[in-house]
Structure 1
């Protein structure tokens, strides 16, 4: 099943805020590629930042115009010429101990991109954020956008993305509306992030359920995320944050088992207790810090916090203010993936 092409949805969003041209960062990444397909399929021109010849080819093959450079390029304003919308999707998503590179990409990169957008003609800017800005290792249950950021983030990814979110939203106003969207567990066709990591862990023998995987998670199919971002452009209120997700949370084990099944892989039965992993993550982070990075942590609290506890999001605000509703069901998305595997 392909992404629905509902004429009524297209007309409604176009009427709310017509788009002349979109500038996308992270265009060759998983979300970026699908955003290009989504908007090019709507007949909307797209320019995408590309930092390598390979990225330029990917962007061009998808029908967008590549602009050579990176997040800190001095000529970003020139790349945004003729664009009235920015989608900042580029990020360093590593869940390890954290690096200067991650801080530079997620924090300094966001500052540079939104500074360029302010200097250019951008009128609507979307930051692709993450629910991980709330992660501190404890369960996150049915939270809405009013939930405060933790005093002690789980790790570098959570910390740097929270800083990026604050930075982006500080640019709201003076003719540019800035909106942040927070998806959780993006999945679906063309997945080059979550699913490959899961399959790699199975193939290496390192995969194990945490406490049998018996906890809930919010997910979002890539088509639902693209649709939600389009609605955020059309109807989002400047300075606001919106959670986006599939219809209902799902048991982590059930969903991951179904994901693996679409690739013809049977999920292992091995399980480890959550308290033991939480202890290992805490000790590993401390040893890495005390050793100045010489001792590699076998598991970080960042990785634990995003995969080992209940994380469910309340998407009511997106429903009310954006008119958001998922356009593809979890069952249809899984069937699409299984069909693609059979036909590969």
Structure 2
């Protein structure tokens, strides 16, 4: 069994990853900032490591002896200023890469995103040959691109780096979908041009499957898209989830001009454009296929909401 080190392990995807690693008999250390996160990680059965992502002196010694580092920590608040995105997503990633490399960790897996490719145009039938866009006007997208470039450029003999890119991660406890539902309830959500865009989505366990396969099977220096391999119409997908979350407020439509005025990038890109990604590479090289079907994922969300009622 392996010794693993995880950043972002108290977050939505991170907790599912930690549970998966523990269930397979691995030991898990998780970098955490707060007592609340430390308690959450301890409750899962992992060892919390208190420290500040951008201050590696507070935690880098605990990376030593790890067989793999999973790097999930990033600034996810798209309203945060560019300085904050740079500090967490770029400088934080560089710190984790350098700590892992200096400690002699042989494998490094980064949780990337299709957002690293977004600069205003839809992603349609896109594969991993599409260029990263560190020039994007959206700080979140630009810094996700810069962070992935740091990871992949660090690949070297004895230090294999891989980036796994899920799209629109959902499931029980998803901050993303629960946040959209809360916005809809508060009258702060609108369909952009009807919301009938075709998009890929990734159930959280499928994202974690991709991360684990990236560790065990990923080709050094490569990126991989992983999705549910079940494309949806965004409006139909969210209306189903909104029904589960008991959203009964009317949701208005915005045309493209109104959306450009009222919804900032990258939210307008995420919710107002097609996003169709190819997973051929992950299937061929990782042996990736979804471990939870779309319908089973919806059932899991229903059960979670019912249990919390």
TM-score where L is the length of structure 2: 0.95
Does the CA contact (< 8 Å) of 1:22 and 1:85 recur in 2?
yes
Distance 1:54 1:235 in 2: 34
Equivalent of 2:35 in 47, 53, 73? 53
Task: Determine whether 1:325 maps to 2:289.
Answer: yes
Structure number with greater Rg is 1
Equivalent of 2:280 in 316, 321, 335? 316
Larger relative contact order (CA 8 Å, sep ≥ 6): 1
Range that drifts further, 72-81 or 193-202: 72-81
Task: Count residues in correspondence.
Answer: 307
1:151 Cα deviation from its structure 2 partner: 7.1
1:181 Cα deviation from its structure 2 partner: 0.8
Range that drifts further, 254-263 or 158-167: 254-263
Equivalent of 1:204 in 186, 210, 214? 186
Q: RMSD over aligned Cα, in angstroms?
A: 1.5
SS state at 1:74 partner: helix
Distance 2:249 2:278 in 1: 29
Partner of 1:301: 265
1:152 Cα deviation from its structure 2 partner: 4.1
Partner of 2:74: 91
Does the CA contact (< 8 Å) of 1:49 and 1:67 recur in 2?
yes
Task: Determine whether 1:229 maps to 2:229.
Answer: no
Give the direction of change, closer, same or farther, for the CA distance of 1:328–1:309 in structure 2 (3 Å limit): same
Task: Determine whether 1:336 maps to 2:300.
Answer: yes
Give structure 2 stretches of 5+ with no counterpart: none
Following TM superposition, where does structure 1 have runs of at least 4 consecutive aligned residues deviating by more than 4 angstroms? none
1:77 Cα deviation from its structure 2 partner: 2.9
Task: Determine whether 1:159 maps to 2:142.
Answer: yes
Range that drifts further, 167-176 or 57-66: 167-176
Task: Determine whether 1:186 maps to 2:169.
Answer: yes
Give the direction of change, closer, same or farther, for the CA distance of 1:238–1:267 in structure 2 (3 Å limit): farther
Distance 1:101 1:60 in 2: 28
Distance 1:235 1:102 in 2: 30
Partner of 2:93: 110
Distance 1:235 1:151 in 2: 27
SS state at 2:5 partner: strand
Does the CA contact (< 8 Å) of 2:187 and 2:251 recur in 1?
no
1:99 Cα deviation from its structure 2 partner: 3.2
1:269 Cα deviation from its structure 2 partner: 4.0
Task: Determine whether 1:125 maps to 2:89.
Answer: no
Distance 2:163 2:249 in 1: 35
Give structure 1 stretches of 5+ with no counterpart: 1-18, 281-297
Equivalent of 2:120 in 126, 131, 137? 137
Range that drifts further, 199-208 or 120-129: 199-208
Distance 1:342 1:190 in 2: 12
